[in-house]
Amino acid sequence: MSAPTSTKGYVDPYALGNNSFASLYTDMLEHVPDLTFPMSVPVYARMRRDPKLSSIVQGWTLNLRRSQWQLDPAGCRPEVVQLVADGTGLAIKGKDEPGAARLRGVSWGDHLNAALRCVPFGFSAFEMEAEITDKAQLTGLWERPQWTISHIHTDGKTGLLTGATQDQAAKLDAPQMPAKNLVWYAREREGSNWAGTSLLRASYASWLIKEEVRRHYGAANVRWAMGVPVMEALPGTSPTPAQMTEAMQMAAAARGGIQAGAASPPGFAMKILGISGSLPDSQAFLRWLDQQCTASALMGAFDLGETPNGSRALGNVFVDALHLALESEGEFIADVATRQIVARIVNWNFGEDEPVPRVVVSGVGSRREVTAESLQLLLSSGALAADPGLEAWVRREYRLPEREGMAPPKVTAPGVDLPEPGEAADGEPTQVAAAARPRGRRKRSTAQPTLFGDDEADAARIQRQWDDAKARLLKRWPKLAGPMVDELADQAEAAVEAGDLALLGELQVSAGVVAAVAVPLRKSGTDLAAEAAAGVVEEAAGQGVDIAAPDLPGRDRVEQHADAVARIIASGYASGAARISLQLAGVSAAEVKGAVAAHLTDLGTSENGLVGENIGGLLSAAQHAGRLAVLEKHPATAYRAVEVSDGPNRCKPCAEVNNRRYDTLTEALKDYPTAGYRGCLGRSRCRGGIHPIF
């Protein structure tokens, strides 16, 4: 197949090519003459400018344009995939980073925008152009607008497209643009009707009636909105023709205004008459016609605010149905692009036997279905392991700032590992006075609650305490989790050796190992609770009040939380070990054991994920428990809700509760039972808290 190296002349797009009926498509299923091609083109052009229909078309096309379009290279040689990607401007699936921009070639976004005009018009046409050097490189997909095409040529036997003609005066024995050079999107094509079916077709009757009703309704409002002046002859009078003419002129000259007035001729009285009797409710009828348009396009969710009935659950049903339709539309566009663009590029350069990469689309209707909550569940369950690639993707998807540079490495003597600040040389955490810590500000973690007021020093101190405690625990975690990893790896190996995969569902960490893991969690939590309690004492002193923290503040609460966290992490490790073992079913038991050990070790290397999130939650609860223990012993005069740390991400419930005053601690804990506001839409991400006023 030879590649086209030039394209035909471009016909004036403002000259409608629909005056000739020589190629009128005769479709017995279309009973409206105005909706047969080419007469349908100007009709749909008018319809897509209607306010309701315009929003419907935008709802379809914008969702498809913001979806992720890629080339799937499965089964294809890299040089083939790269050639197609360079020509079409599509990203290659599996490469998260976008490629470099190019001056020449096709812009996929621009092409997709034009291709989606098949939604309102039923079809879209493009003529291909290539540049031939050592390879035939696609350089253009030139749009041939619907209103410039006068004839669509088809094969009388097969019904296949043979080409199209723009020049109405051209001979019709051969198409002006042959099909082999065309990319043709025909939406919901039936037989040889390559003009396709417009999304707006089902709305035609409603739109046509609405145009008439709207025009007459507007005229009625202009004519009758202020009434009509009438000169009525008084009873017993017999006005002459001249008097009737004078009265008529006065009625016609009557105008409203602040100083308006009139003196009627003798024998007449002026009245302002409006419409008497009931009239059709044109507004309700127009609204009903709009609802028929949205229903025909599966856009019922657009009308939920205008209908007497509706619910959130009903809205979800509407959205689900729309997403199915959008996915089907996207797959249709991808299939045509694969067969008529990608396959031709491959055929030009490598022959018809070469495997062709497919155009695929994903994320139709919802590019970010992966939410922070779902990611947390995936990481905590072990279904995902946090890694730099995943973190980079999350930051891009949620428009978070890039990670700040890592701290410079410590210079140590060979074989010597210096302890972290606040950690003894043997690796055990030590109690360090808050006043002895540096007052530098750090980047805030999303998992830590904010139980401080407006003072920047208090905010920095609490953040620093939490960060340091978490860093110490995560550094020690590989050693602490070692017994769990070894035990689960041995159990997985034994199950594989026994040949009974059902035993993998019974993997668990022994109670003794869980209890051993809970010990350092308890110690870190109670130490941080004591630091948090000392912080409340310091805040009270700043307000001129001298109080003392209780001994072991919040210990019972913290230790119970630590025991629960140890069990949760152990359960997640067991689940991850079973899942990895099932995925590797069929390999040797020794390989399974090594893979399980490597996977479980990786779970503890991230600041987030199963280990990091649960440890962070424990430390947040410890700070809350320590502060709460002081406030229970030394109640403040009042308490104030503080929601200043969320910034632009603060949700509406948190914005409403900010600065709310509570007279008692019991009243404050109704809104803040743990660390954050109970009504926060972000739940565990809430940064709010209560500030005591002594």
In tens, the pLDDT along 399-409 reads: 677 665 433 43
Exposure of 221 by Cβ count < 10 A (0-12 exposed, 13-18 middle, 19+ buried)?
exposed
Tally Cβ neighbours within 10 Å of residue 219.
10
The confidence band for 505, taking pLDDT boundaries of 50, 70 and 90, is confident
- For residue 581 the two structure tokens come to 């073992």
Average pLDDT over every residue of 495-520: 86
Average pLDDT over every residue of 221-234: 77
Q: String of b and e for 580-598 (b: at least 16 CB within 10 Å)?
A: bbeebeeeebeebbebbbe
* pLDDT at position 627 over 90: no
Are 171 and 186 part of one and the same domain?
yes
* pLDDT at position 336 over 90: yes
- Least confident interval from 96-105, 433-442, 681-690: 433-442
Domain annotation covers residue 585: yes
Q: Pick from 362, 379, 406: which residue ends a domain?
A: 362
Q: Pick from 616, 633, 650: which residue ends a domain?
A: 633
Predicted confidence at residue 431, as pLDDT, reads 42
Cα separation, 133 vs 57, whole angstroms = 41
Q: Pick from 347, 362, 377: which residue ends a domain?
A: 362
* pLDDT at position 340 over 90: yes
Q: String of b and e for 302-324 (b: at least 16 CB within 10 Å)?
A: bbeeeeeeeeeeeeeebbeebee
Domain annotation covers residue 282: no
Are 150 and 124 part of one and the same domain?
yes
Segment 209-219, tens digit of pLDDT: 888 887 777 77
* pLDDT at position 461 over 70: yes
DSSP labels, 514-569: HHHHHHHHHHHHHHHHHHHHHHHHHHHHHTT----PPSSTTHHHHHHHHHHHHHHH
Tally Cβ neighbours within 10 Å of residue 9.
7
Greater confidence, 370 or 366?
A: 370
Are 494 and 348 part of one and the same domain?
no
* pLDDT at position 604 over 60: yes
* pLDDT at position 438 over 90: no
The confidence band for 118, taking pLDDT boundaries of 50, 70 and 90, is very high
Are 132 and 167 part of one and the same domain?
yes
The boundaries of the domain holding residue 666 are 635-694
Predicted confidence at residue 16, as pLDDT, reads 39
Q: String of b and e for 273-292 (b: at least 16 CB within 10 Å)?
A: eeeeeeeeeeeeebeebbbb
Alpha helices for 190-311 (secondary structure H): 204-224, 241-253, 282-296
Average pLDDT over every residue of 136-165: 89
**DSSP code for 11:** P
* pLDDT at position 349 over 70: yes
Predicted confidence at residue 309, as pLDDT, reads 56
How high does pLDDT run on average in the chain? 78
Total tally of structural domains belonging to the chain: 3
Segment 7-20, tens digit of pLDDT: 766 554 444 344 33
The confidence band for 529, taking pLDDT boundaries of 50, 70 and 90, is confident
Are 613 and 539 part of one and the same domain?
yes
Percentage of residues of the chain with pLDDT beyond 70: 76
Are 108 and 164 part of one and the same domain?
yes
Are 440 and 587 part of one and the same domain?
yes
The confidence band for 631, taking pLDDT boundaries of 50, 70 and 90, is confident
Domain annotation covers residue 25: no
Are 617 and 646 part of one and the same domain?
no
- For residue 193 the two structure tokens come to 């009707």
Residue with tokens 């209908």: 307
Domain annotation covers residue 263: no
Are 472 and 536 part of one and the same domain?
yes
Predicted confidence at residue 207, as pLDDT, reads 87
Are 477 and 582 part of one and the same domain?
yes
Cβ–Cβ under 8 Å, residues 599 and 385: yes
Percentage of residues of the chain with pLDDT beyond 90: 16
Are 576 and 676 part of one and the same domain?
no
Cα separation, 36 vs 49, whole angstroms = 20
Predicted confidence at residue 386, as pLDDT, reads 63
Domain annotation covers residue 438: yes
Q: Give a three-class secondary structure readout of 377-439.
A: HHHHCCCCCCCHHHHHHHHHHCCCCCCCCCCCCCCCCCCCCCCCCCECCCCCECCCCHHHCCC
CA dihedral 20, 25, 30, 32 (to 10 degrees): 10
Tally Cβ neighbours within 10 Å of residue 661.
11
- For residue 71 the two structure tokens come to 């080339």
Average pLDDT over every residue of 170-181: 83
Domain annotation covers residue 219: no
Cα separation, 683 vs 646, whole angstroms = 13
- Least confident interval from 265-274, 305-314, 546-555, 595-604: 305-314
Greater confidence, 425 or 487?
A: 487
- Least confident interval from 52-61, 226-235, 272-281, 355-364: 272-281
Predicted confidence at residue 126, as pLDDT, reads 95
Domain annotation covers residue 670: yes
Predicted confidence at residue 128, as pLDDT, reads 93
Q: Give a three-class secondary structure readout of 520-534.
A: HHHHHHHHHHHHHHH
Cβ–Cβ under 8 Å, residues 595 and 529: no
The strand ranges marked E within 79-196 are 91-92, 123-132, 136-144, 151-154, 161-165, 177-178, 182-186
Domain annotation covers residue 309: no
Are 555 and 694 part of one and the same domain?
no
Predicted confidence at residue 455, as pLDDT, reads 45
The confidence band for 687, taking pLDDT boundaries of 50, 70 and 90, is low
* pLDDT at position 231 over 70: yes
